Amino acid sequence: PAERALQNYGFDSAWQGIISENISQVLNVSLKASQPELVLSSVTLENRINEMEFYFPIHPVSPPKLQSNFKQHDTINGIGEFQRQIKKLVFRPTTGLMKGSIDMVFKDHNNYYLLDWKSNYLVSEIENYHPEALGDVLRENYYDLQYHLYALALTQYLRLGNPDFQYESNFGGVFYIFIRGVNSRHGPQFGIFHDLPQPALMNALGKALIPGYSKV
């Protein structure tokens, strides 16, 4: 499969060994230190969805409105730094539908997770892929905003489709996998960013953005 994909995208087959090794590392790395058994190779086909598209209606939204919601929770998970970054956003107030596509959604032991692949090159030193360094990359590129919107879409879908779904019991959070920094020997210490957005923040965003929002 790797060789065929390289051919399809015009790359030399000499990259096959490196690509295959990288895929193996990603599939077999532990995603969380507290759950060493949580590895992608253990996720079955029936427990995952690739490229999950979503749409949800939104109230009129603007950068100040987003900033206000994040500012209320500026002591949570580095949000204080991110809400200052939002000040740099420039777009006209927008309404209509929010559309997106989540790289992967998967289920493990009755917990649901969303995952996004990142190929960012953060120079060769492994230290640049430490979770704290990855947090800086997320804020600089507004990936923080992206994954909060992803989490909002996914958890609303799960709540509407399954009345027994409970955010604090059944949502395991967000993984951003920076594949260039992943090595199964290092485990989740490098190349893997994980966050579990606080319910209060998710509810604030939901009320601000979604008509008829269902509380997490």
| Residues with catalytic function | 116
CA-CA distance, 88 to 182, in Å (whole number)?
31
Burial of 45 (0-12, 13-18, 19+ CB in 10 A): exposed
Q: What is the 3-state secondary structure (H, E, C) of 151-199?
A: HHHHHHHHHHHCCCCCHHHHEEEEEEEEHHHCCCCCHHHCCEEEECCCH
Tell me which long-range contacts 184-188 makes (C-beta under 8 A, separation of at least 24).
Answer: 184/24, 184/25, 184/28, 184/29, 184/30, 186/29, 186/126, 187/29, 187/30, 187/33, 187/36, 188/29, 188/30, 188/31, 188/32, 188/33, 188/131
Q: Alpha carbon of 69 to those of 21, 28, 57, 60, 62: distances in Å?
A: 42, 37, 18, 14, 11
The pair of structure tokens assigned to 52 is 């999950």
